[in-house]
Amino acid sequence: MPTNLPTVPNTFVGRESDLDELLRLLVAVRVVTLCGTGGIGKTRLCLSVAREAVEVFSDGVWLVELADLETGERLAQRVAGVLGVQIPPGGDPAETVAAAVGGGEQLLVLDNCEHLIEDSARLCSILLAACPKLRILATSREPLRVAGETVWRVPPLSLVPGKGASDAVKLFADRSMAGGGPAWSAQDEAAVSTLCAELEGIPLAIELAAAMTRVLSIEQIRTRLSDRFKLLTSGSRSAPARQRTLLATVEWSYRMLSEPARLLLRRLTVFRGGWTLELAELVCPCDGLDADEVLTTMAELVDKSLVMADGTVGDAIRYRMLDTVRDYARRQLSDDDDGQELQQRHLDGISWIARKTHDLIATFDRASWPAITHYALIIDAMQPNIYAALAYAGRTRQVERGLRIFTDLQWVVIASGRHDEVIVHVDALLENSAAQPVDLVAQALGIRTVTSFFAGDAVAVERFGSEAVKLGRASGSVTAEVLGSAMLCALGFERDGVSLERAVELCERTGDLYLGGLVLYIKALLSQAAGRHREAQRLFEKLMEEHREANNWAMALAAVGLAQLAHARGDLGVAARHYEYVQELLGPLDIRGERIRCLNGLGRIAIELGDYETARRRLSESLSLNSGLGQRAAAVELVDAFADLALREGEHARAVRLVAAADALRERMGGPLLLGAGARAQDVLAPARRQLGDAMAAQLWAEGRTLPWHQALDYALSTRPLTRSVITVAALPESTLTEREREIAGLIARGLSNKALADELVISPATVARHVSNILAKLGFSSRTQVATWAIEHGLTD
């Protein structure tokens, strides 16, 4: 078939699914425009599609390159020249081309239309109207906006490995070797993958970086990326000047913008990660850009591929820009843009969103739930902006503003489970809060106590909780006193008048249903931990009922508790239904803590059912969700679950290491927040000692206890053996019950008192008391009821 497509100088890497989709589109529609930011690979993808389409179009596939045309006056003549059409003197070039093409089955490829966008659109409209079988494939940084056009946004190269390396890594490897760079091994793939991610999968940036491997190592390239425009300059001499370097590519797009669009692009750099139109309208207006102009100007930036519409959050579009574009736009910030004023407006915008969310939650009205969900999703997606606002408040000594954002978002922060980064900024604010309103500081301390509780940090709970109660009482902040008291009581720090009874009384006095729900949840947890399962069941059901009207998070907490109780009594079907109900309750909300606990619970149920593949998948997903959240208590529970799975699969060595790692992690957090840790260790160690012997079990226990936090989590997720150097063998913990202690545990399960035990075993009551104390300590229990339940589960009553 006739064509003028050029011979490619190197291989086309990746985008196989994109090729297939675009070929199908060319058959179905008249015009396909590949849009995307500079360097994203529009031309290369377009040429690859065109090459595949040669066999489809009987009258030819014709490439018209427009990069060197400075104006549109000779656009039709350029097309005519490619098609071999003679334009008669005085004739209209566009009409002549249309007449020549006529009814032919041709594909016309127009490459680089953006600087001639209106002329390109006009010519396409004429040709499409006159030539019924003509198809047009165009590349541009903005759509042509002609009838019948399908705009196909070219994404960055995939960073996710498919069969082998990702498309981005494959491109880097291919261009590095082609350019004479040194061969690199499979061990280098992780570093290359990280580099490609830092380059955001932009093909031009990846190719330019690959060319640098002739003189720099991969790590050297990474360290110099802080000035990517200076580093990535060695482009192909055959490419148009504006496509030879990363800087030239972005500069070309920037020069094509209207002045309001340039101004908005510069001001949008204040956002971190992404933004919504509502936020942009709050933050970006200034002299030269009114609030009611932000929408149309944003549309221009999206059309020109400098801003991307990146899905939805709530009912709003989320926008973002590539870091490459952001870096360039930040360099263009002038004195007129006033960076300080811009950051202040950003802080004001985040403050407004936080207060709006607070007011909606305070209604405790089911009718407000859609709006609450909307703002909760926006805040969740805008987390980097929250952190940036808190950091700016700290740097500029606006401590009260920063703490107010934190307290306005208290229930969103607590429920989301994302605590690690936010508490860094809040702690910095608290360190400089001496001159701030006492009630505000007290409330912030109360929230910090709750985040510490869910993080499994007993030391921080005691510290922040005590301060919250003290300042709460001094300032009259019920929220601070209740939050501090509830968390202190949860860990057994009941002193100085701190009690759950007083917390309940305060909640009833103020009528704060959210605080009341949290206190009720803690009461239910304590009953569950003490083995009073009927009482816990009643309290969780009460929590569920009291919050049906407005608080899906409290209902989710209750449902997780009911699921755990059902699991404990062996009713796995009911437990699974409760966990599934939690997923329905949360809907689109990414409330990680409860999702993590649900997946953990479903994984444990799968272990009980012998479905180890499902168990591993559920537990792995749960542990992955936990990454970077600060939910260390939940992470330790997951490591325990992986230990149980390893034990069931006969991997005793892995099981011992994991349960030892969990034991050490609890100690680093400040103690076993969740009771029964010793019992779980007992379940693993007893069969491991029988299978492996005491010496090997002790070696494995020592290895597990020395694992750093992140390595322990990685080991839980991995199926590979652990590579460890020889270490000093530590003694096994005294967690395995002696034969006498197992006998006494069985008798406790039969309801015998200490006196009855002494009579039954013909030993003194003091000896019995000592044995019972040892059993409680080794199993990590606090009551005889828990010991009895454990003994029954382990068949010690037979």
pLDDT at residue 671 in the model: 47
pLDDT at residue 480 in the model: 95
DSSP conformation letters of 80-109: HHHHTPPPPTT--HHHHHHHHHTT---EEE
Longest Cα–Cα distance in the chain: 123
CB neighbour list of residue 97: distance below 8 Å, 6 or more residues apart = 76, 79, 80, 83, 85, 127
Q: Of all helices (H) and strands (E), which one includes residue 460? A: helix 458-475
pLDDT at residue 242 in the model: 47
Q: Nearest-CA neighbor of 79 among 89, 92, 65?
A: 65
Using DSSP, how many helices (H) and how many strands (E) does the chain show?
A: 40, 8
Residue 274 is given by DSSP the state -
In three-state secondary structure terms, 480 is helix
Please give the order of strands across the beta sheet that includes 61-65.
61-65, 107-111, 135-140, 31-35, 149-153
The Cα-based distances of 76 to 105, 298, 362, 476 in angstroms read 19, 32, 64, 78
> How many CA atoms within 13 Å lie on the side-chain side of 659?
29
Residue 118: CB atoms within 10 A of its CB come to 11
Contact predicate 386/274, CB 8 Å: no
CB neighbour list of residue 437: distance below 8 Å, 6 or more residues apart = 400, 475
pLDDT at residue 559 in the model: 95
Residue 33 is given by DSSP the state E
**For residue 508, with 0-12 CB atoms within 10 Å meaning exposed, 13-18 middle and 19 or more buried, which class applies?**
exposed
Q: Nearest-CA neighbor of 410 among 480, 330, 500?
A: 480
Phi/psi region, residue 403 (left: phi>0; alpha: psi -120 to 50; beta: rest), is alpha
Cα torsion at 7, 8, 14, 19 (round to 10°)?
A: -30
Q: Nearest-CA neighbor of 787 among 737, 723, 722, 732?
A: 737
Please give the order of strands across the beta sheet that includes 308-313.
275-276, 316-320, 308-313
**Beta strands at 316-320 and 275-276: parallel, antiparallel or unpaired:** antiparallel
The Cα-based distances of 190 to 14, 169, 206, 209, 638 in angstroms read 18, 9, 15, 16, 26
Q: Nearest-CA neighbor of 454 among 503, 495, 413?
A: 413
The Cα-based distances of 566 to 249, 538, 581, 604 in angstroms read 61, 13, 14, 12
In three-state secondary structure terms, 179 is coil
In the numeric block, which tokens belong to residue 746? 């069985």
| Rounded Cα–Cα distance for residues 493 and 495 (Å) | 6
Cα torsion at 753, 758, 764, 766 (round to 10°)?
A: -20
Reduce the secondary structure of 762-791 to three states and give it as a string.
Answer: CCCHHHHHHHHHHHHHHHCCCCHHHHHHHH
**Residue type at position 608:** E
| Rounded Cα–Cα distance for residues 434 and 633 (Å) | 31
Mean pLDDT by 10 residues, the chain (798 residues): 74 78 89 87 87 88 86 88 86 90 91 90 93 93 90 85 76 75 68 82 78 75 66 52 61 84 93 91 91 92 84 84 82 73 94 92 78 85 90 94 95 81 91 94 95 85 94 94 92 83 90 89 88 91 87 89 92 94 84 87 93 92 76 82 89 87 75 51 75 80 82 80 51 62 80 79 79 71 70 67
pLDDT at residue 540 in the model: 96
> How many CA atoms within 13 Å lie on the side-chain side of 49?
34
In three-state secondary structure terms, 477 is coil
Helix ranges (H only) for 491-591 are: 500-510, 513-529, 533-546, 552-568, 572-586
CB neighbour list of residue 197: distance below 8 Å, 6 or more residues apart = 159, 168
Reduce the secondary structure of 307-342 to three states and give it as a string.
Answer: CEEEEEECCEEEEECCHHHHHHHHHCCCHHHCHHHH
CB neighbour list of residue 746: distance below 8 Å, 6 or more residues apart = 791, 796, 797, 798
| Rounded Cα–Cα distance for residues 136 and 111 (Å) | 11
pLDDT at residue 506 in the model: 92
| Rounded Cα–Cα distance for residues 654 and 721 (Å) | 8
In the numeric block, which tokens belong to residue 360? 């909606």
The Cα-based distances of 365 to 352, 463, 507, 547, 581 in angstroms read 21, 35, 18, 10, 21
Residue for token pair 């009579």: 759
| Rounded Cα–Cα distance for residues 406 and 425 (Å) | 10
3-state SS of the chain: helix, strand, coil percent to 5? 65, 5, 30
| Rounded Cα–Cα distance for residues 616 and 641 (Å) | 10
CB neighbour list of residue 149: distance below 8 Å, 6 or more residues apart = 29, 30, 31, 32, 33, 143
Residue count (the chain): 798
| Rounded Cα–Cα distance for residues 239 and 533 (Å) | 73
| Rounded Cα–Cα distance for residues 607 and 601 (Å) | 10
Residue 151 is given by DSSP the state E
Contact predicate 344/332, CB 8 Å: no
Reduce the secondary structure of 503-531 to three states and give it as a string.
Answer: HHHHHHHHCCHHHHHHHHHHHHHHHHHCC
**Beta strands at 308-313 and 316-320: parallel, antiparallel or unpaired:** antiparallel
CB neighbour list of residue 189: distance below 8 Å, 6 or more residues apart = 165, 169
Partners of 313 in the β-ladder:
316
| Rounded Cα–Cα distance for residues 582 and 580 (Å) | 5
> pTM here?
0.74
